Amino acid sequence: MKRLGFVLSLLTVAALVGGVLASAPASAKARTKTIHVVNVTESHPDVNPCSGAKGTFSQTYSGVFHGTKLPNGTSWFTGTLHGTASFVPKDPTQPSYAGRFTTWFGDENNLQNEVEHETFHANLRGTDGSVVMAHETAHMGTSASGLTFSFDKARFTCR
């Protein structure tokens, strides 16, 4: 199931924390911020990746975000979320799914390099006994010379 909205939500939180961790004077110490979220619920239209059925994907999650910024511009931001997820199709003859997910992401920057990475895993069981498992690993990096490298490997297993 598409996770673009979920990733955009995470990036929004990252931008908010990034604003909180704005540049500090050179004489300042490291600035850190930790944000805990509990029972956040989001829903959006989506498609079952196994059957193509249209419906609504919902997730309720809790987790933690942590950011650190040093006076020299080096920064780290990471987040871990876990919770429940469900998919309810528009067509009532199609199975609904419910289960659990976990995701982690990190962003590290210095004055010359940056890397972003993310992992995601979900296991949902259908009302008909079928199972949808999703696993994603993504990475992007930029070197001091401007060379970039990225990959996004998403895998769905439908049983």
The structure tokens listed for 89 are 């199709």
Q: Model-level pTM?
A: 0.77
pLDDT tens across the length of the chain (159 residues)? 444 344 434 444 444 444 444 444 555 799 999 999 999 999 999 999 999 999 999 999 999 999 999 999 899 999 999 999 999 999 999 999 999 999 999 999 998 899 999 999 999 999 999 999 999 999 999 998 989 999 999 999 999
Measure the CA angle with vertex 104, ends 103 and 108; round to 5°.
Answer: 155
Contact 142, 111 (CB under 8 A): no
Residue 27 confidence (pLDDT): 57
Q: Are strands 97-109 and 54-69 parallel, antiparallel or unpaired?
A: unpaired
Contact 94, 48 (CB under 8 A): yes
Q: Which phi and psi angles does 71 have, rounded to 5°?
A: -60, -25
E strands, the chain, where? Answer: 31-47, 54-69, 75-89, 97-109, 114-126, 131-142, 148-158
- What is the identity of the amino acid at 119? T
